[in-house]
Amino acid sequence: MQISERGVELIAKYEGCRLAAYKCPAGVWTIGYGHTAGVKEHDTLPSKDAAKRLLREDLEKYAAHVNKCIQTGKLTFYPTQNQFDALTSFCYNCGVGSLNKLVAGRSAAEVADKILAYNKGGGKVLQGLVKRREEERQLFLS
């Protein structure tokens, strides 16, 4: 499976776009819609379209991991497109390890409920993550 345009737009909405490199709260140089690989202090992107292309390239890795979870049986159900998009968004934001923990042995209904728990940064509940997890859950259930 591949992430749909709806999934890409959800991720772009929550990541936001910056055309000049900046340090994220974790101290990592970041550019575009959350891209970190090889980013240096004075890097820039020419346009939002360039940033969106970079995001789509980055998402291939995370979509591949969701597909791996399907193929290896870590995911106990075959996802709909909306479920796949929500899981790819979650994986992009939280990482492959968190996705593995989220889906391990859980039914679709259990995953939908558990996803809401991943709303903290530095041990504190962050409203941006609360909203993102709620929207991912809504997409997952639709």
- For the question of residue 15 being annotated catalytic, the response is yes
Domain extents for the chain? 5-14+48-141
- Give residue 72's identity as a one-letter amino acid code: T
pLDDT of residue 24: 86
User: Under CATH, which number does the domain 5-14+48-141 receive?
Assistant: 1.10.530.40
pLDDT of residue 26: 76
Question: Are 65 and 102 in contact, with CB atoms under 8 Å apart?
Answer: no
- Per-residue pLDDT band at 25 (split at 50, 70, 90): confident
Query: Which residue in 15, 60, 134, 135 is the catalytic one?
Result: 15
The whole model's pTM is what?
0.94
What is the DSSP code string of 10-77? HHHHHH--EEEEEE-TTS-EEEETTB-TT--TT-B-S-HHHHHHHHHHHHHHHHHHHHHHHHHTSSSS
pLDDT at 122 over 90: no
What number is the average pLDDT over the span 118-129?
A: 91
